[in-house]
Structure formats: structure tokens, C-alpha cells
Structure 1
């Protein structure tokens, strides 16, 4: 995980930012809550392990999906009428996408990605 990336996301409506599985979905009230949830999802295996336990064959889930980045940092702020979320992590986009979808469903849009 030596290559770190800076992901720039936009969330149009935070009130609709919920994942498809209520038990795993973001349930906070503001940008700080969102940043904390995303940061925790990238730093710890908690969200992944809860999702894995819900699968029909948990032991068959690819262990590569469990990777975490203890140094991941997320920040969110209101900008105009949407939320800007910045995430700096060494995790690949496939992992980031999976966890963002679990947390807030299709409510996010990747605006840019750069080397951190």
C-alpha cells in the first residue's frame, strides 16, 4: 500500500446518502459524521466484516477485500448545495468503491483522483 491516492467525491444530497443494507448504511446527520464513517470504513475491518458475515458463504469471500489502511484520512464539508468529501488512502479504488456503496449507496460521484 505504498501508493497513496487523494479521492475527491461529491454527494448531492446527504439526506439520501444511505446504502442498500440498513444495518451497514450511513446514518449520520452531517458532513462530519460522513467523514468519520468513511474514515472508519477505510481504517478498520468492522464494516467489511459485518458485510462478509451477511454473505451466503462468508468463508468464500475474497480475503483481498478485507484490506484496510490505518492511515486513511477523510474530510467532508458543505459546498454550495452538496457535500465535498476528500479521502486520502492507499486503498485501491475497487475497495473504496465497495465500502462507499455499502455506506451511502449510489449517492456519491468521484470528481477526481490524484496521487497524494
Structure 2
């Protein structure tokens, strides 16, 4: 059985959180939109493949970053002045980090991680 992880993330200002490449960046307006976008980014390789095709040497990209989890689940809600995100996936933090950075740059913070 595959190890699953429960990640707890915080985003200080989701309305302004964007990745450095506009064509890959999150464009939604609220926590529910973001949760759906993140979940899809982890469930299928589309975001990764678009990023990979933009690299100077796409064939030299580490294909371990292409991993997906068809059962990934994400939820998000506004709490005080920030957005809390809960993520349940079998993907390691290195892949979660890569997808988050593509979507919202460094606007997020890992609060906790536990085995699920």
C-alpha cells in the first residue's frame, strides 16, 4: 500500500498569490477555486507537461517530477486573514512544492505534515 500524507498549508494572501510564469499560474478568485486547481495539478500531468515544454532542454527534466496521484484531495478555506489548505496525497513534498510554486510562487507555507 502506498504511503499517504496529510499536508497543512497556509497562504497569506490568496488573491495576490501567483506563480512567476503567468501561463502556468493560478488565476482563480477564492479558496474553492484554488483547491480544485491544486487537486487537478496533482491528479494529472498537464501542468507539469506545460512547464516541461517551456524548459530549454525538456528531455533533460527529471521525470520524477511528473508523478501524479489520481486520488489526491485538496480543500481550502479562509481563516482570519489567510487561507488554510489541507491536502491528502501519496506525492512527496518535493512534487507538491514544485506544483505549488508553479501555481502560486512562494506565497505558501507548510504548517504541518502527517502520515495519513
**TM-score (normalizing by structure 2):** 0.98
**TM-score (normalizing by structure 1):** 0.98
Gaps spanning 5+ residues in structure 1: where? none
Find the counterpart in structure 2 of residue 105 from structure 1: 105
Give deviations 1:84-113, integer Å, cap 9, x for gaps: 000000000000000000000010000000
Find the counterpart in structure 1 of residue 8 from structure 2: 8
Give aligned pairs, total: 116
Find the counterpart in structure 2 of residue 43 from structure 1: 43
Gaps spanning 5+ residues in structure 2: where? none
Q: CA deviation at 1:63?
A: 1.1
Give deviations 1:17-47, integer Å, cap 9, x for gaps: 1000000000000000000110001000000
**Aligned-residue RMSD, C-alpha:** 0.8
Give the Cα separation in 2 of the matches to 1:64 and 1:82: 31
Give the Cα separation in 2 of the matches to 1:22 and 1:70: 25
Find the counterpart in structure 2 of residue 89 from structure 1: 89
Q: CA deviation at 1:15?
A: 1.5
Stretches (4+) displaced over 3 A: none
Give the Cα separation in 2 of the matches to 1:101 and 1:53: 17
Give the Cα separation in 1 of the matches to 2:3 and 2:65: 17
Give the Cα separation in 2 of the matches to 1:77 and 1:21: 25
Give the Cα separation in 2 of the matches to 1:15 and 1:73: 22
